[in-house]
Amino acid sequence: MIRTAIFGVGNVASALVQGVQHCRRNGTEAVSLLLPDIGGYRPEDIEFVAAFDIDRRKVGEPLSQAIFACPNNTLAFEDGSDWSGVTVSAGRILDGVSDPVRGAAEYGFLPIETGEGTRESIVETLRASSAEVAINFMPVGSQQATEFYAECAIEAGVAFVNAIPVFIASNPIWAARFAEAGLPVLGDDFKGQVGATIVHRALVDLFKMRNAEVDCSYQLNVGGNTDFLNMVDEERLASKRLSKTESVQSAAKSRFAARNLQIGPSDFVPWLKDRKVAFIRMEGRLFGGAPINVEVRMDVEDSPNAAVMAVAAIRLARLARDRGLKGAQPDISAFLFKHPPEQMRDDEGHRRILEFIGRCAT
């Protein structure tokens, strides 16, 4: 069993909780599961023991209901009833709620009336639940809230998986703090299973392998979930743009000039709900300077695409913890995250995870 705590019961947490239940119900028949066996840990070993949020439609509710509370709008494919006994606790708001989310009618934030959690109450809940791994699903731009929950994890002695583009695992200062506490930290910012970033990286890598020139490229993304509404606030996007852009830059033959590569969330389209549409374009030159343009339009349910990576990351964090590994874990982060401590080719990242799992199994 892997006792797991969740910070932020939004759409990705919903897909994660449903996904683990889906694995419990379907075993090896679970659809498109990544890394079914990680050193003896299977997805069905994940046990949610604590969860934190700051919206009154979620706090105080059973986790099984909070995952479907408004404004969550991802696919419902399981009922989450395995975790009807876990109550969502109050977190601390800090910078977790952006102006666009605060002001939106349907998606708007509803503060809890019973008051926010404190550092002491959150650490106590983590300890009382015997959580071993915590996963951070704060909205993009939540620097303070993410650092706050990282502190809570350290104080409670819990390994940390950082799903979002605030740099913790890839920040040497934070990595050292987890190392001092004797805890592993994985991150930052999940790649989707087949998401826009990995597709874009694969295209850039293809051009590199065939020695074709890419002159300029963009990846524009739109979606209708709270994540996209939050990202309308350009001021919260600096680290998201950096994370996505570096992920593509690091796969290129030579770095793009900044003006020739534009990547990022571009708009909120409410009727798309949890669907994300990505438009990728590459313009370049083949032999003799002959022009080539490639266009990809990808349409994908956003949250399960990240949740499957969480199902792997939680088990890898637990395995790293079992082995007494501390601090950042470059070998097992590069395949799963856009901004890992060390960028590497995706096939190399995959190979290192398999090597890690193999080593652990013996």
Ligand X SMILES: NC(=O)c1ccc[n+]([C@@H]2O[C@H](COP(=O)([O-])OP(=O)(O)OC[C@H]3O[C@@H](n4cnc5c(N)ncnc54)[C@H](O)[C@@H]3O)[C@@H](O)[C@H]2O)c1
Binding interface with ligand X (CB under 6 A)? 7-13, 52-55, 58, 91-94, 96-97, 137-140, 142, 145, 163-164, 189-190, 192, 195, 225-227, 230, 302-303, 305-306
CB 254 → ligand X: shortest distance, Å?
Answer: 27
Residue 39, SS3?
A: coil
CB 323 → ligand X: shortest distance, Å?
Answer: 26
CB nearer to ligand X: pick between 189 and 331: 189
Amino acid at 123: V
CB 297 → ligand X: shortest distance, Å?
Answer: 17
CB nearer to ligand X: pick between 162 and 329: 162
User: How many whole angstroms separate alpha carbon 169 and alpha carbon 175?
Assistant: 5
CB-count exposure of residue 333 (10 Å: 0-12, 13-18, 19+): buried
Amino acid at 157: G
CB nearer to ligand X: pick between 13 and 357: 13
User: How many whole angstroms separate alpha carbon 320 and alpha carbon 324?
Assistant: 6
CB nearer to ligand X: pick between 170 and 230: 230
User: How many whole angstroms separate alpha carbon 68 and alpha carbon 9?
Assistant: 9
> Taking CB positions, which residue lies at the least distance from ligand X?
10
Q: What are the CA-CA distances from residue 288 to residues 114, 165, 260, 293, 354 (Å)? A: 69, 40, 21, 15, 41
CB 169 → ligand X: shortest distance, Å?
Answer: 13
CB nearer to ligand X: pick between 72 and 214: 72
CB nearer to ligand X: pick between 10 and 39: 10
CB-count exposure of residue 289 (10 Å: 0-12, 13-18, 19+): exposed
Angle at alpha carbon of residue 240, lines to 235 and 246, rounded to 5° = 130
CB 39 → ligand X: shortest distance, Å?
Answer: 24
CB nearer to ligand X: pick between 134 and 214: 134
CB 305 → ligand X: shortest distance, Å?
Answer: 5
What DSSP letter does each residue of 127-155 carry, written as one string?
HHTT--EEEE-PPTT-HHHHHHHHHHHHH
What DSSP letter does each residue of 156-180 carry, written as one string?
HT-EEEE-SSS-STTSHHHHHHHHH
CB 141 → ligand X: shortest distance, Å?
Answer: 8
